[in-house]
Amino acid sequence: MDRERGSVTVIGIVIMMLLTSIGAALLLLSKTNLEISANRRDGIAAQYLAEAGVQLAIAKLKTDPIFVNQTKTNNYVMTLPLNTKSATRSYTVKIGPASNAANHNERRVTSIGVVNKASRQVVAKILLPTADVQIGR
């Protein structure tokens, strides 16, 4: 009977170790899922920032004739940091002539959005209207 009392203790310790390892595995799985979700959220936010950079470039090209002339031959780079308490966000927009374009009214816009560790890039080719085209006639 004395030998059986020791075996119950060993079985109890083995069961406790098993439960502890299952708990640790579940904790690791939860942490991994949380990191995956955060990376996906940051990637989507970075994509939106990159698209916002392209929209900013389009708006600036539509409204600022001096800016249009500046970007005809040279690249123009804007970097806008948007720091908040929860994340570091920024986007960089590069606007310049298209590399192989014979048309001086064509611009290449490259926008890179960054949120924490996620980064997304959007590239757009913009064709500006020529001065001799009359709209509405």
Q: What is the pLDDT of residue 52?
A: 92
User: In this predicted structure, what is the pLDDT of residue 79?
Assistant: 87
Q: Please enumerate in sequence order all residues whose Cβ is within 8 A of that of 104, keeping only pairs 6 or more positions apart, or say none.
A: 72, 97
For residue 16, the model assigns a pLDDT of: 96
Of 81, 83, 71, 65, give the one whose Cα is nearest residue 109.
71
Low-confidence ranges of the chain (pLDDT < 50): 133-134, 137
User: Measured between alpha carbons, how far is residue 96 from residues 64, 108, 118 in Å?
Assistant: 14, 6, 25
Burial of residue 76, with CB atoms counted within 10 A of its CB: 0-12 exposed, 13-18 middle, 19 or more buried:
middle
- Per-residue model confidence (pLDDT) at position 3: 60
Give the orientation angle of helix 2-63 with respect to helix 65-73, to 10 degrees: 110
The tokens describing 40, both together, are 């996906």
